[in-house]
């Protein structure tokens, strides 16, 4: 089984951001690739009661989701990963507003053409983002939050949720554990208490 990864992510999710940093570090060290695919917590939470503050962030998330989807189509998954990193460093690390200025800066940092920004407001991309989201859900086989990780042709799993981001030997061990679990078709779920983001 190939260990290349498919990673469905919502760019607004702080837990997903941490998982992505772990996955990027391990796959880079091992010479593996990541197929970055957007998913949407807004779609996942449609028709469900959510706190007002969270609802505003969900509403704003469609612009970077469209942008990231278009990046993958036009420039490939590596460019999607670079753009996600540039967005995430500003949104999750610097805690900036997820506005046009942030997206413009991220596009430039990722070395992508500035006209790509138009995709953020292209509502024709909404169906494609939804399809990408649903593909991730189908890979898991049940409704799942962000992120979703699949290795090779194996099943998709929610997570792993990592707070703080594991490094070095711990990061390698976690990847190997996920890889081994992927190879066991009878395995379906493993869970413990989630650490607070304040711990990272």
Question: What's the domain range around 25?
Answer: 5-199
CA 199/CA 148 separation, integer angstroms: 22
pLDDT at 200 over 90: no
Please count the structural domains in the chain: 1
CATH number of domain containing 19: 3.40.30.10
Q: Is the dihedral of CA 148, 152, 155, 161 positive or negative?
A: negative
CB-neighbour burial class of residue 51 (10 A; exposed 0-12, middle 13-18, buried 19+): exposed
pTM of the entire predicted model: 0.95
pLDDT at 1 over 50: no
Residue 156 dihedral angles phi and psi, to the nearest 5°: -90, 145
Segment 34-86, tens digit of pLDDT: 999 999 999 999 989 988 888 889 999 999 999 999 999 999 999 999 999 99
CB-neighbour burial class of residue 142 (10 A; exposed 0-12, middle 13-18, buried 19+): exposed
Q: Is 45 helix (H, G, I), strand (E, B) or coil?
A: coil
Segment 134-193, tens digit of pLDDT: 999 999 999 999 999 999 999 999 999 999 999 999 999 999 999 999 999 999 988 888
């Amino acid at each position: 089984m190939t260990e290349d990864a498919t990673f469905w992510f919502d760019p607004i999710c702080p837990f997903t951001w941490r998982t992505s940093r772990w996955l990027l570090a391990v796959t880079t060290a091992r010479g593996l690739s990541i197929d970055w695919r957007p998913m949407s917590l807004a779609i996942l939470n449609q028709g469900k009661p959510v706190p007002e503050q969270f609802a505003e962030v969900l509403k704003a998330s469609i612009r970077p989701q469209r942008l990231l989807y278009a990046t993958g189509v036009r420039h490939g998954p590596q460019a999607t990963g670079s753009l996600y990193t540039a967005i995430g460093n500003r949104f999750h690390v610097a805690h900036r507003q997820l506005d046009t200025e942030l997206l413009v800066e991220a596009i430039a940092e990722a070395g992508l053409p500035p006209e790509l920004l138009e995709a953020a407001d292209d509502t024709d991309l909404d169906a494609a983002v939804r399809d990408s989201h649903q593909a991730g859900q189908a890979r898991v086989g049940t409704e799942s939050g962000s992120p979703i990780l699949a290795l090779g042709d194996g099943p998709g799993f929610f997570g792993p949720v990592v707070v703080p981001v594991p490094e070095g030997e711990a990061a390698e061990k976690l990847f190997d554990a996920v890889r081994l679990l992927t190879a066991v078709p009878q395995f379906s779920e493993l869970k413990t208490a989630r650490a607070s983001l304040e711990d990272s």
